[in-house]
Amino acid sequence: MMSLFDTLGRGLLFSFDPETAHGLSIRALKCGLALPTATRPSPRLRVSLCGLDFPNPLGMAAGYDKNGEVPDALLRLGFGFAEIGTVTPLPQPGNPKPRIFRLTQDDAVINRLGFNNEGHARCEQRLAARAGRSGIVGVNIGANKDSADRVADYELGVKRFARHASYLTVNISSPNTPGLRNMQARESLAELLARVMDARDTEAERLGRKTPVFLKIAPDLHEGDLEDIAAEVTEKAVEGVIVSNTTIGRPPLASSARNEIGGLSGKPLFARSTVVLAKMRRLLGPERAIIGVGGVSSADTALEKIRAGADLVQLYTSMIYAGPALPGRVVADMGRVLETQNIATIREIRDTRLADWADRPLD
């Protein structure tokens, strides 16, 4: 159930257009108006992955804190980690407004933002200012829309943020930058990952540590695409995959904004993204890290992603509808489920429903 604070906050924010409401929520977090979670997560929820120790497996997905303004405030809400961005080398305004649409009847959102952000320099200033603070903060990097060499943009992102980020996410799966998803094709992906991992390894020599790299993929892929991606991720020794970004598909939807152009996120994405996740786990094997995203709105959906093969999960859209207390509730509920079922660590349930999801057809 939503708290009174959540209900009143949602009513106020929903009186504004979605993009204005988003900006107000960022300001509220900056001012400390969102109440932090009151309880510590169960030790059963701890996850060790890629050399990082996550207090719980629930993260804030990229897209909310695009410019690295409030990662610590997000962590105080109960998230085990926060991912900022997508950030591009140069500032860019993104696509024309309006470009975010609430599908309230479906607990979903369609966006066509187009990597609007303040650029590397401004984001790096903010991350440098939080040096020495605890908490896992990933940086999601992208390419400028008009870049002459998009792969070089990702290299720049690695060089700029490897020192500040707990991990880096290479985002080639947004549907809102023309041609970006073409980089998921095997030949293009091979070049991208080779150059990104070379840049990461060069930075590792200087920093004395390797910043883990994740590849974020789209849910709108076919079996052969997934096989190619898994092969390149394995060959290039990429630490993990994030499954998935928004979808250009349109499952049955009730809201009037259902035909808007852009990427769909929220509850309708859960099934498709979980099938892709499980198929990717089967292709990658048990050791490679996977973060599951898409339709996570409760402890049940978060745990199901893990049963389907995810090590960690992320949410964003569901917090628009359920409010800032959602992450704390989800984490507390996950802990209670494990305690009730006498499960010592959340890792024990990973892959327990892998076959149920991976055997489902994509088309």
State both tokens at 169: 């996410």
Report the C-alpha gap between 138 and 68 in whole angstroms: 10
Report the largest interatomic distance among the alpha carbons of the chain, rounded to a whole angstrom: 55
Identity at 102, one-letter amino acid code: R
Q: Could you give the 3-state DSSP secondary structure of residue 170?
A: strand
Q: Is 174 a known active-site residue?
A: yes
Q: Which of 329, 332, 333, 324 is nearest to 7 (CA)?
A: 324
Please identify which residue in the block is written with the tokens 């939503």: 2
Report the C-alpha gap between 92 and 203 in whole angstroms: 26
Catalytic residue among 25, 42, 147, 174: 174
Report the C-alpha gap between 218 and 224 in whole angstroms: 14
State both tokens at 295: 């339709």
Report the C-alpha gap between 16 and 353 in whole angstroms: 41
Per DSSP, what are the bridge partners of residue 240?
214, 289
* 185: region left, alpha or beta (phi > 0 left; psi from -120 to 50 alpha): beta
State both tokens at 242: 């994030």
State both tokens at 195: 């150059």
In this structure, how many other beta carbons lie within 10 angstroms of the beta carbon of residue 200?
22
Report the C-alpha gap between 265 and 316 in whole angstroms: 9
Please identify which residue in the block is written with the tokens 């152009």: 261
According to DSSP, residue 341 is labeled T
State both tokens at 303: 């745990």
CA–centroid distance for 72 within its chain: 16
Please identify which residue in the block is written with the tokens 């504004």: 16
Please identify which residue in the block is written with the tokens 């994509």: 362
Identity at 317, one-letter amino acid code: T
State both tokens at 186: 């095997």
Q: Which residues belong to the active site? A: 174
